[in-house]
Structure 1
Amino acid sequence: MSEQAPGPMTMDLTGELAALKNQVFVLKEGVDYKVKITFKVNKEIVSGLKCLHHTYRRGLRVDKAVYMVGSYGPSTQEYEFVTPVEEAPRGALVRGAYVVTSFFTDDDRADHLSWEWGLRICQDWKS
């Protein structure tokens, strides 16, 4: 989510996750953004749920973001979590393509969901 973005950027994690690997999201350098996650807990209580993003450029990990989401019980309603506001990097050296590996894990290190997606940092939104 970014108030400066021309429109919302959404990622549907209920479908084929392998298709997200080919989808590239464009982020303008220097903008403030946050990530909103909507999810359901179906069977058991999830304790210490975390969302992790490992960002790679040319095969080397350049960033690791860890967000503590919390503990949740089963419910028919969706839960929502919004990360704190962050600023996208800026400058000629950070522009370009990145691969992000994201996953949800808990205190027991159970992998609830994993996927890869593309990110491109550009001077403007249309690049």
Structure 2
Amino acid sequence: MLRHIRKVKHTIYLILLCAKLVMAEEDTVPVEELQKLEVEDGDELTPGYKAPAKVDLQTIQDLDADDESLQKYKKELLGGKQDILDEGGNNVLVKALRIIVEGREDLVIDLTGNLSDLKVTMKEGVKYRLKIVFRVQREIVSGLRFLSQVKRKGIKVDSSNHMVGSYGPKTEEHSFLAPMEDAPSGMIARGVYNIHSKFTDDDKNIYLEWDWAMTIAKNWK
């Protein structure tokens, strides 16, 4: 998500920028310099992807009712609807965002309470993965997506669009693990990144939308 330093496209530019800012303090990169790194919107759908027709859970359960083996398989796959915990609210409940860094405890952002002041601090240059934890509690949901836009000093420097997939209702939580990423590193990369995330589906239902901040620091705090 934070691919702020794009090695191929910006290598020469960053070398020159480092030379100009070698005596600068952390998080003092001029806005006009960040504008040169501004990225395009990443909210578009996956090329070639077509959302499937929506079918409710009861219809699926009623299909081929005389096929005993198929009914057994569907029961194992979907579970008994009457036995699934319903916590109220949206069909999809987004529970937490976990930041996984090898050799350290996960950084956990609880998404079930107050979303007004969500912050984490990361050491520069570490490899990490984002893990989103959620529940589907009533109907099958198709094409879940986890999208984020990253800004620094009001300039968009990165965006991501992860296809999470389609899921049936279940009392237990589901989770999605995003690909490995590298936290930005170097003096000009340190500072606060403001991130706007949302969890949506093929029908453009927004199950949760939240803002959070990630501070890239020289060392763990």
Match of 2:107 in 1: 9
What is aligned with 1:49? 144
Residue 4 of structure 1 contacts residue 31 of structure 1 at CA under 8 Å; is this kept in 2?
no
Give the deviation of 1:4 after TM superposition: 4.2
Query: How many percent identity over aligned positions?
Result: 46
Q: 1:31 matched to which residue of 2? A: 126
In structure 1, runs of 5+ residues without a counterpart are none
Please name the residue that 1:76 is paired with: 171
- Greater share of helix residues, 1 or 2? 2
Distance 1:48 1:13 in 2: 21
Contact 1:45 1:74 (C-alpha < 8 Å) held by counterparts: yes
Q: How many residues align?
A: 122
In structure 2, the gaps of 5 or more residues are 1-99
Q: Which residue of the other structure, out of 202, 206, 212, is the alignment partner of 1:107?
A: 202
Give the structure with the larger strand fraction: 1
TM-score (norm 2): 0.53
Instruction: Note the C-alpha offset of 1:43.
Output: 2.1
**CA deviation string 1:9-39 (max 9, x = no partner):** 1011111222xxx232111111000012221
TM superposition outliers: structure 1 runs of 4+ over 2 Å = none
The DSSP-based 3-state class of the residue aligned with 1:75 is: coil
Q: In the alignment, which residue of structure 1 is the partner of 2:182?
A: 87
Larger Rg over CA atoms? 2
CA RMSD, aligned part only?
1.2
